[in-house]
Amino acid sequence: MPHKYYSQRTGNNPNLNGLPLDDVIELFLRIYQQLEDDGYFSEAFGFWCVDADHVPGKIRDIELEILLKIRKKHIWPISQYCKGYSEDDLFDVIEFLYQNVSKPVDGTMHNYNGCGMHWETFNKKEGQVVFVEKINDLLSHYCNPFELSLEGEVLNKPDAGFETIFEADVPTKDQNVRKRIESAVLRYRRHGSTIDDRRQAVRDLADVLEYLRPKMKTLLTKSDENDLFNIANNFGIRHHNAKQKTSYDTAIWLSWMFYFYLATLHVILRKIDSDRKAES
C-alpha cells in the first residue's frame, strides 16, 4: 500500500477521493514528456537531432496513424491538444502509446551542442512494462477507478477485495471454458462498459456454468444447483418474459452476480481439476 501522508490520514486532504480529470491529464503530459526525453518513443516516433532536425521513426505521420487507428482528429501533438481531452480521449491516447512504446537499450552519444543519445536498439516488451507501471501509478490518483492492463487495455479496477480473482489463472485446460470466462471478464471491466455489456458478461458466465453442469452434479446438492441457476434464469439475465424479477438496482446487483458467478466458476473448476488428478 502506498504511504498516506498526514492530510490523507486525517481526512483533510482536498483530493481525498482522487484527482479530477484535468489534473490527471496535466500529470499524464509530464509523464509522457519524461518518457519521450528518455527515448521510449524514439523508435516509433523518431527524435530531434541538432544536425538533422527531426529524424523520423517507424511511424512517419503520427497524426495520420492516430486518425487511422483511433478515428479522431485534434489528438496529436499531445502537448497541443491534451488540455481539451475527454476521459475517452485520454484513455485512447494511453492505449495508442502502449502500442508504440519501447525501452531504449543501446545507441550512440551525439556530443555536439549537447544533442544527446541517438538510440538504435530497443526492447518493446520492457518498454511496455515500464509504461504500464507509470500509467497505473498515475491512474491510482484519479477519482475514477481505472487501470492499464498488461495487454494495454484501460479497464475498470476490480471492487475492493476482489483484486486476486482477476489475477488468478482460470484453472482449466478446456480452451472453450477459459476463453469464454476471459472474454466475459474483459467485457465487464472494459472502460465504458454499459449495463447491457455487464448483463451480457453475467449471462456468459452463467452459460459456462450451464456447460459444466453435468460435471457439477457430484459437487453440489440438487437444491444448491437449482439456486445457482435461479439467479440467472429469473432475474432478467438469460430470459425475457413477464415472470422475470427486474425491480432491483441493476448496477449493484449485476456487480454482485458477476463476482458470485466468477468466484463459483473458479471453485468448481478447481474442484473438477482436483478430482481429475485424484482419479489419474
Phi and psi at 104, nearest 5°, equal: -70, 135
Which DSSP state fits 244?
-
Alpha-carbon gap, residue 246 to 144, rounded angstroms: 28
| Grid coordinates belonging to 239 | 430470459
Q: Taking the model in full, what pTM does it have?
A: 0.83
Cβ 1 vs Cβ 9: under 8 Å: no
pLDDT value at residue 248: 57
- Convert the pLDDT of each residue in 95-116 to its tens digit: 999 999 999 999 999 888 778 8
Cβ 65 vs Cβ 59: under 8 Å: yes
Alpha-carbon gap, residue 41 to 103, rounded angstroms: 8
- Convert the pLDDT of each residue in 188-229 to its tens digit: 999 888 988 998 999 999 899 889 888 887 787 777 777 677
Torsion angle, alpha carbons of 105, 106, 109, 115, to 10: -40
* pLDDT above 70: percentage of residues in the chain: 91
Nearest to 271 by CA among 217, 227, 204, 210: 217
Nearest to 148 by CA among 204, 97, 201: 97
Alpha-carbon gap, residue 114 to 222, rounded angstroms: 76
pLDDT value at residue 234: 65
Alpha-carbon gap, residue 41 to 127, rounded angstroms: 9
Alpha-carbon gap, residue 268 to 26, rounded angstroms: 46
Alpha-carbon gap, residue 233 to 207, rounded angstroms: 11
Alpha-carbon gap, residue 55 to 245, rounded angstroms: 63
Close Cβ partners of 37 (under 8 Å, ≥ 6 residues apart): none
H/E element, 188:
helix 175-189
Give 47's strand partners: 55
In the predicted model, residues of the chain with pLDDT beneath 50 are: 241-242
Alpha-carbon gap, residue 103 to 87, rounded angstroms: 27
CA 50 from chain centre, in angstroms, equals 39
